């Protein structure tokens, strides 16, 4: 029997270390037989990303700062030279000054607002623009978002506004590219302790809150996000596009948790 992702080639953007959500997704895709390339930001991450990629049988590890059009062009030129065709792309990238991931949203600065939107929103569009040209037999693009796009969450602030825009961009690109057989989706992941998450104020409290208040009464793992990503990236999700899929132990569905009601 052939594996789900056999013969499929995909780019994973945003692997920083073995705690990254990108790592959970990459592992599931590789287990299912996909051939992977990785892009990372900055020379410092290279020594961390190389061995992880190698452990999944990939020798395509490319530097790319998504703030730079030239850097994105170089990444996709390298992919085109090596592979020609591309089947899927995972965008697991977000960034904001951590000084603005605490306190009030209303105090956010113009410069960090623009930078957060550039790195966390436009970079997905910029990557999809280039990936779509290589998806000559259709394809699937996936990004990562968070519930802070839909509802106010403590400290998420400007990232909530960025994720709302990112989710809207998923819907617009799904429409634009649907006729080419290219699907565009997002996973809205529950909180997971990663490098990026550690920049958010009171993150440990947010984790605990989700654990206590989600229907499954627990948090989610990188591998669980990976399994849902596999569904969206593979033929299992062939009719799914423009979707924001929650992988959050059900937290998004709850208005108020049932408790032993006090006498009132």
Which positions are catalytic? Answer: 146, 156
Kindly state whether residue 93 participates in binding ligand NAD, applying the rule CB under 6 A. yes
Q: In angstroms, what is the minimal distance from the CB of 70 to ligand NAD?
A: 13
Q: How far apart are CB 45 and ligand NAD at their closest, in Å? A: 6
Nearer to ligand NAD, 194 or 241 (CB): 194
The yes or no reply on residue 146 touching ligand NAD (CB under 6 A) is yes
237 makes contact with ligand NAD (CB under 6 A): no
195 versus 236: smaller Cβ distance to ligand NAD: 195
The Cα–Cα gap between 172 and 126 comes to: 13
Binding mask of the shown chain, residues 112 to 141, with x at each position contacting ligand NAD by CB under 6 A: -------x----------------------
Residue ranges of E strands in 99-221: 139-145, 182-189
Strand partners, 136: 138
Question: Which residue, 62, 58, 44, 54, is CA-closest to 195?
Answer: 44
Contact by Cβ (8 Å): 225, 187: yes
List the interface residues with ligand NAD, window 175-234 (CB under 6 A).
189, 191-192, 194-197
- Measured from the CB of residue 198, what is the shortest distance to ligand NAD in angstroms? 8
Q: Whose Cβ is closer to ligand NAD: residue 15's or residue 135's?
A: 15
Q: What is the dihedral of CA 132, 134, 135, 141, to 10 degrees?
A: -50
- Burial label, 51 (beta-carbon count in 10 A; 0-12, 13-18, 19+): exposed
37 binds ligand NAD (CB under 6 A): no
Q: Are 189 and 144 in contact (CB under 8 A)?
A: yes
* Cα–Cα distance, 192 to 25 (Å, whole number): 14
Angle among Cα 51, 227, 62 to the nearest 5 degrees reads: 30
Give the three-class secondary structure for 114.
helix
Q: Smaller CB distance to ligand NAD: residue 22 or 184? A: 22
Least distance to ligand NAD, CB of residue 139, Å: 20
Out of 41, 140, 214, 234, name the contact with ligand NAD by CB under 6 A: 41
Binding site for ligand NAD (CB under 6 A): 14-16, 20-22, 41, 45, 64-67, 92-95, 119, 144-146, 189, 191-192, 194-197
């Amino acid at each position: 029997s052939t594996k789900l992702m056999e013969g499929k080639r995909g780019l994973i953007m945003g692997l920083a270390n073995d705690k990254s959500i990108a790592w959970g997704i990459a592992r599931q895709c590789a287990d299912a037989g996909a051939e992977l390339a990785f892009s990372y930001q900055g020379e410092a991450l290279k020594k961390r990303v190389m061995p992880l990629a190698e452990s999944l049988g990939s020798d395509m590890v490319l530097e790319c700062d998504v703030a730079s059009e030239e850097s994105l062009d170089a990444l996709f030129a390298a992919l085109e030279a090596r592979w020609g065709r591309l089947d899927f792309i995972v965008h697991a990238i977000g960034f904001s000054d951590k000084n603005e991931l605490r306190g009030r949203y209303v105090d956010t600065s113009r410069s960090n607002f623009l930078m957060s939107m550039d790195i966390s929103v436009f970079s997905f569009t910029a990557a999809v623009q280039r990936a779509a040209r290589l998806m000559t037999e259709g394809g699937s693009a996936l990004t990562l978002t968070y519930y802070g796009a839909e509802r106010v969450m403590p400290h998420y602030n400007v990232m909530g506004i960025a994720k709302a825009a990112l989710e809207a961009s998923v819907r617009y690109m799904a429409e634009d590219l649907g006729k080419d057989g290219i699907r565009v989706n997002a996973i809205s992941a529950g909180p997971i302790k990663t490098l990026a998450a550690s920049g958010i104020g009171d993150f440990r409290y947010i984790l605990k809150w989700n654990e206590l208040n989600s229907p499954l009464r627990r948090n989610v793992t990188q591998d669980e996000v990976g399994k849902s990503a596999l569904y969206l990236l593979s033929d299992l999700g062939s009719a799914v596009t423009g979707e924001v899929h929650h992988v959050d132990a059900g937290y998004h569905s709850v208005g108020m948790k049932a408790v032993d009601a006090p006498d009132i």
